[in-house]
Amino acid sequence: MSSSLEVIYSVRVEFGDCDPAGIVWFPNFFRWIDAASRHFFMQCGVPRWEETAKTLGVIGTPLVDTHTRFVASASYGDELSIATRVAEWRHKSFVQAYRVMRGETLILECEEVRIFGGRREDGSLCALPVPAEIARLCGREV
Amino acid sequence: MSSSLEVIYSVRVEFGDCDPAGIVWFPNFFRWIDAASRHFFMQCGVPRWEETAKTLGVIGTPLVDTHTRFVASASYGDELSIATRVAEWRHKSFVQAYRVMRGETLILECEEVRIFGGRREDGSLCALPVPAEIARLCGREV
Amino acid sequence: MSSSLEVIYSVRVEFGDCDPAGIVWFPNFFRWIDAASRHFFMQCGVPRWEETAKTLGVIGTPLVDTHTRFVASASYGDELSIATRVAEWRHKSFVQAYRVMRGETLILECEEVRIFGGRREDGSLCALPVPAEIARLCGREV
Amino acid sequence: MSSSLEVIYSVRVEFGDCDPAGIVWFPNFFRWIDAASRHFFMQCGVPRWEETAKTLGVIGTPLVDTHTRFVASASYGDELSIATRVAEWRHKSFVQAYRVMRGETLILECEEVRIFGGRREDGSLCALPVPAEIARLCGREV
């Protein structure tokens, strides 16, 4: 089961995002990817995690696995767009996929496995079954 | 009322902390200063904020004012030490002061006003009177 | 000599910009203020620092002094606007001033002293006299 | 051809490294991994990139691919150690591998492909053949 929904998140690269080689220091890409992930859910109409914590027990979408392929570098002044979608819905996790572009130039591709995180009674994190209403909002095709 | 206690926090400057000019990008200095602030309290024996939230209602030490004078730049490979003390205890705030050094070279001086933050019933932040036991642990001279 | 020019830089606060207390971790404000500083010069038509390095010897605008007063906290989902201007032109430095707002709510005010940085023959940084053409682009009133 | 050399980089997790869920915000792990990568080369006796830029044309080790598996979360106050090694030397790239531990607990595993980056005449980045002297310093087994 995949999704056809794709949401764009746009980023201006700033001077301070770049390293002494003059290019984006790569951890900043993960900063933007995380924002794009959250932006995807917001655009789909999923409420803030404080809300879902109360209604569904979901406190966020912790990352389990991430695989990123860097194709071209970027620098300050660049305008990037991050196309985000859910590539796969699983029972207790989902695959979120990103393409970071500068115009027609592919900068990087990233594929993540995330879970819907809840808390056990002792406060520790656990993976909840993907909530049906969230998957539906995000365009899961049944 | 001031304090004689001074605590040192040490920092290695990394490649990614530097900008395209090859020197530390200044927001990173505030990252380290905030860590030095917290380190000061830990070294003085003040428990984690989760603990003090339960015992004293203190959830942390939000910043109210900061004034920083940059004297020399730093770059990756540098080892910095941040000497931290409380310069003044007030009724509902305190002044925390920092000197960032590389060996004998002064990099910057910073003086902050912070509060002991609590939460009002509606969840908003408020300044609590400085808890006597915390000030005592931190060496307040009466 | 001051400036009447004011430029707005807008910021979306992201989940990862916030700390365990749920509010913006303050070094992130300095990240945005630095971007607003650079944005101001770009909007005024000042070229990239690589360009000015060749034409004027200016490699950037290093910070000498910053004073910030935090008035209200912000959290993820907030849209902030940073109004930026040059409050004063001096011979070898200038004062850049910022007001960070969330709608009508003042979040913080910041006043910085910056220099136009050049390099000495040994590679070290030095303050250059404020280039007349940059000040003119930025609306200096004579 | 692999390496038996392993270098440990240690990290203190700070309050500001954590997000509103109270755990390390994942881009910070990449900040530390990048520092561990550089630390590995320094401990092996590889000079600063400014040096190697002059002697070998190597300006750094840009990332081409990274795959990370997150096993457990971490929070402020934690002391992490990052065991770093080169898992494989290729002709124009190498695989650098990391295990982030908190005591006996595995936090994450990461495997990266990096290159030794040089600059073409037009200033763009390119992959250089792995310099023999660097690989030797880093314990390449022939």
Rounded Cα distance, A45 and A51, in Å:
12
Rounded Cα distance, D28 and D33, in Å:
9
Residue A39 has pLDDT above 90, yes or no: yes
List CB contacts (< 8 A) between A73 and chain D: 62, 125
Residue B64 near chain D (CB below 8 Å): no
Residue C18 has pLDDT above 90, yes or no: yes
> Listing from the earlier edge strand, what are the strands of the sheet with B7-12?
B7-12, B79-89, B94-102, B105-114, B63-70, C63-70, C105-114, C94-102, C79-89, C7-12
Q: Where are the alpha helices (DSSP H) in chain B?
A: 27-43, 49-55, 132-137
Rounded Cα distance, C116 and C52, in Å:
10
For A119-137, the three-class secondary structure string (H helix, E strand, C coil) is ECCCCCEEEECCCHHHHHH
Q: For residue B23, what is the DSSP state?
A: S
* H or E element in which residue C105 lies: strand C105-114
Q: Are B31 and D8 in contact (CB under 8 A)?
A: no
Q: Is residue D77 part of a domain?
A: yes
Nearest residue in D to C27, CA atom: D16
From C26, C30, C86, select the one nearest A15 (Cα to Cα).
C30
Name the token pair of D55.
Answer: 């002697």
Q: Is residue A142 part of a domain?
A: no
Give chain D's mean pLDDT.
94
Q: Is residue D1 part of a domain?
A: no
List CB contacts (< 8 A) between D67 and chain A: 65-68
Rounded Cα distance, C27 and C12, in Å:
15
Residue C117 has pLDDT above 60, yes or no: yes
Q: Where are the beta strands (DSSP E) in A1-142?
A: 7-12, 63-70, 79-89, 94-102, 105-114, 116-119, 125-128
Name the token pair of B21.
Answer: 């000019």
Residues with Cβ within 8 Å of residue A51, at least 6 apart in sequence = none
Mean pLDDT confidence for A63-91: 96
pLDDT at C124: 83
Nearest-by-Cβ selection for C16 from D19, D22, D76: D19
* Tokens 């951890």 belong to residue: A27
CB under 8 Å, gap of 24 or more: what pairs does D52-56 form? D52/D131, D52/D134, D56/D116, D56/D128, D56/D131, D56/D133, D56/D134
Total residues belonging to chain C: 142
Phi, psi of C132 (to 5 degrees): -55, -40
Rounded Cα distance, C120 and D79, in Å:
41
pLDDT band at B25, cuts 50/70/90? very high
State the Rg of chain D over Cα.
Answer: 16
Q: Is residue A1 part of a domain?
A: no
Q: Assign A116 to helix, strand or coil.
A: strand
Q: Is residue A14 part of a domain?
A: yes
Rounded Cα distance, A83 and A33, in Å:
10
When mean pLDDT is compared across A110-114, A136-140, B30-34, C87-91, the lowest value belongs to A136-140
Q: Are D108 and D96 in contact (CB under 8 A)?
A: no
pLDDT band at B142, cuts 50/70/90? low
pLDDT at D3: 60
State the catalytic residue, choosing from D19, D34, D65, D78. Answer: D19
Percent of chain A with pLDDT over 70: 97
Residue B138 has pLDDT above 80, yes or no: yes
User: In chain C, how many domains are there?
Assistant: 1
List CB contacts (< 8 A) between A11 and chain D: none
Distances A92 to A36, A88, A129, D4 between C-alpha atoms, Å: 21, 11, 4, 38
- Residue pairs between chains A and C whose CB atoms are closer than 8 Å: 34
Q: Is residue B2 part of a domain?
A: no
Half-sphere exposure in the Cβ direction for B132 (13 Å, CA): 1
Q: For residue D60, what is the DSSP state?
A: B
Q: Assign D132 to helix, strand or coil.
A: helix
Q: For residue B69, what is the DSSP state?
A: E
Residue A69 near chain D (CB below 8 Å): yes
Q: Is residue B97 part of a domain?
A: yes
Nearest-by-Cβ selection for B15 from A16, A20, A22: A20
* Tokens 């997150």 belong to residue: D70
Rounded Cα distance, C39 and C41, in Å:
5
- B24 CB burial (10 A radius; 0-12, 13-18, 19+): buried
User: In this predicted complex, what is the ipTM?
Assistant: 0.92
Sign of CA dihedral C119, C123, C125, C126: negative
List CB contacts (< 8 A) between C49 and chain B: 20-21
pLDDT band at A2, cuts 50/70/90? low
The per-residue b/e assignment along C89-98, b for 16 or more CB within 10 angstroms, e otherwise, is: beeebbbbbb
Q: Assign C135 to helix, strand or coil.
A: helix
pLDDT at C112: 98
The amino acid at residue D127 is A
From D101, D95, D40, select the one nearest D65 (Cα to Cα).
D95
Residue D35 near chain A (CB below 8 Å): no
Q: Is residue B85 part of a domain?
A: yes
Domain range for D133: 7-137
User: Is position A19 annotated as part of the catalytic site?
Assistant: yes
Q: For residue A16, what is the DSSP state?
A: G
Query: What CATH number has the domain bearing residue B81?
Result: 3.10.129.10
Residues with Cβ within 8 Å of residue D47, at least 6 apart in sequence = D55
When mean pLDDT is compared across A61-65, A122-126, C62-66, the lowest value belongs to A122-126
The amino acid at residue C6 is E
pLDDT at B140: 86
Mean pLDDT confidence for C94-119: 97
Rounded Cα distance, D84 and C105, in Å:
47
Mean pLDDT confidence for A15-44: 96
Q: Are C84 and C39 in contact (CB under 8 A)?
A: yes
Residues with Cβ within 8 Å of residue C82, at least 6 apart in sequence = C8, C9, C10, C11, C32, C33, C36, C98, C99, C100, C101
- B36 CB burial (10 A radius; 0-12, 13-18, 19+): buried
Nearest residue in B to A75, CA atom: B20
Name the token pair of C101.
Answer: 């707002």
Residue D68 has pLDDT above 90, yes or no: yes
